[in-house]
Structure 1
Amino acid sequence: MMKMMRCERLLWSLPLYVFAFFLLCAGAGSALAEDGDGAYMPSSSSAIVGDWLVQSRDAVIRIEQIGDEYQGYILWQLHDTYGPEDGPKLNGKIVTDRNNPDPALRSQPLTGLRLLKGLHYNASNRKWIGGRVYNSDNGRTYNCLIRLLNSNRLRLRGYIGISLFGGNTVWSRVTMQTPVDGGLPFVMAVPDK
């Protein structure tokens, strides 16, 4: 009887083990597929320097080389002042880093905020690694790495612990300009398809 109960438990837990195995394989496969084999070869370690429109199309991040690392800050954002939907106390005021875990920093404007730090180019795997990215939406900082998909698109991967446990965002290179007739202050390096 005892042998039968162990066997039943094993049979019931087997689907869970199989499911967990497939989840792990799918996650690893997805991460590997996201990473790819790196067919694009950047022209130099400074190939990520420039202005990048974020995937949500509401901000431009300027990546620059500072000493031996690459950093990025918010150069432009679609909404740099609060609107009526944010309430009468905020309406018309400059958007600030109000989710920062440090209360002393919550009044600093988001435009100009440095949110990428510590990236170093690793030529062997053609990535900028060892970075940290700050998410002003939740006030958290994550590990990050960047890979160029081509000369005008990059993929930033933010993660906790190991890069397998994270998410990607794709940014597009832009050229900043003086807005014409209320237009946007940038031109896409390669027009969207």
Structure 2
Amino acid sequence: MNGQGMVVRSGRRLGSIARGWMAIFVFCALVLGVSLQPASAATDEKLMGYWLSQDHDGVFLIQQCGDVVCGRLVGMRYDGTDVPRGHDGKVECNLMMLTGFRTMQDNARKMQGHILDPDTGHVYDAQIWNDGPDVLKLRGYLGLPLFGQTQTWTRYTGPGMGPMCKMP
């Protein structure tokens, strides 16, 4: 009987130790998860919305697309009624040009993804980040950011777009 009692007692003891470690593990996971989440979520939120391109000839809507951030061309400056078309002949209105942006591991302020050049069909690596409350920086490059170009976009607060993404 003592032998069985000892097994039960040591089993209970092992179970309570395991539960204690499990509680510590769950607590640590929650603390780490909560502390890491807001930094990237805050970065994402600042990037969301409408942005006017550097040359003031396009407006992009940057938004959450599943677990990544993306951007679509929603406004263009053009003459006449013919909507600009990309190299493939498709209209550029509502074209998804920024894709797959995720917070960078080595720099939580920036997001890394891809940008499409509709005139050539080439897709380039890109980084985006806020450089003030209403300023977005976009750097497109091929291979290394060092060999790229940075544009400064500003938050768009103008009137809505006309038919076929025509800017007012």
TM-score range, shorter chain: 0.5 to 0.7
Partner of 1:96: 85
Question: Runs of 5+ in structure 2 lacking a partner?
Answer: 1-39, 162-166
Percentage identity across paired residues of the two chains = 29
Alignment of 1:110-149 (within 5 A): 110-122=92-104, 125=107, 126-129=109-112, 131-149=113-131
Matched, 1:163 2:145: yes
**C-alpha offsets along residues 102-142 of structure 1, whole Å, 9 cap, x if unaligned?**
xxxx232111000000001237521011x110112332110
Quote the offset at 1:176 in angstroms. Answer: 4.5
Question: Runs of 5+ in structure 1 lacking a partner?
Answer: 1-40, 84-91, 100-105, 186-193
Paired letter, 2:63: E
Larger radius of gyration: 2
Give the helix-richer structure, 1 or 2: 2
Alignment of 1:1-193 (within 5 A): 43-79=42-78, 92-97=81-86, 99=87, 106-122=88-104, 125=107, 126-129=109-112, 131-178=113-160, 185=168
| Aligned-partner Cα distance in 1 for 2:128–2:61 | 14
**C-alpha offsets along residues 28-62 of structure 1, whole Å, 9 cap, x if unaligned?**
xxxxxxxxxxxxx9944321010000001011011
The total of aligned residue pairs comes to 123
Q: TM-score, normalised by structure 2?
A: 0.65
| Aligned-partner Cα distance in 1 for 2:140–2:71 | 14
Closer, same or farther in 2 for the Cα pair 1:73/1:95, shift >3 Å? same
